[in-house]
Amino acid sequence: MNILKFKHLIFAFGSLVALTFASCDKDSDSSEDIIAKNKATKEEGETFLLENRSAEGVVETYSGLQYKVDTVGKGEKPILSDSVTMKYVAKLSDGTIFAKSDKETLLLSSQIAGLRQGLRYMREGSKFTLYIPYYLAYDVNGRSFRYNGSVVTVNSYSLVIFECNLLSIKHN
């Protein structure tokens, strides 16, 4: 009886070891590949912002956020504690859309830093394009979004672009 238990234990242990090695992803990126990809993404964003800085109508803030005023509204400007209702398209620098809404109400203080900063320059009725560097967006962590039935990943160090129409402000 003890030999039978021992054989079962050996079989279970062997199966566990085999399963562990079989589950290793041979296609996963090495540390060097990830570092190279992050460096390339960061440099791409920096180059985009450097070139965009001289585009007509683009303003750069002290933090590195860039924005372009498409339409000037006549309403109030939001403060950090406000909720804002906005229409927006969020995309990567290559044009890939990762989020979009025709009308969404958001608590300004819970948004990424670049969106918080950019919306505070806007008045109700304004349309701006915000060019947000990685450190004011999803930083070194990146983030995945579900958009149009697919998962779109904003990689670490990615510049993001928000086309925003500030519809209304609710003071909280």
Model pTM? 0.81
**Residue 2, domain member (yes or no):** no
Give dist(CA 86, CA 25) in Å, integer.
Answer: 42
Mean pLDDT of 154-166: 96
By CB atoms closer than 10 A (0-12, 13-18, 19+), residue 113 is middle
For 40-92, the pLDDT digits (tens) are 999 999 999 999 999 999 999 999 999 999 999 999 999 999 999 999 999 99
Token pair for residue 39?
Answer: 């460096």
Q: How many domains does the chain have?
A: 1
Instruction: Return the CATH number at 110.
Output: 3.10.50.40
**Residue 109, domain member (yes or no):** yes
Torsion sign, CA atoms 43, 92, 114, 59: positive
Q: What mean pLDDT value characterizes the chain?
A: 88
**Residue 106, domain member (yes or no):** yes
> 3-state DSSP call for residue 17?
helix
**Residue 26, domain member (yes or no):** no
- Cα-only R_g, the chain: 23
**Residue 51, domain member (yes or no):** yes
Containing domain of residue 88, as a range? 32-170
**Residue 4, domain member (yes or no):** no
**Residue 99, domain member (yes or no):** yes
**Residue 98, domain member (yes or no):** yes
Token pair for residue 114?
Answer: 């670049």
Residue 7 has pLDDT above 80, yes or no: no
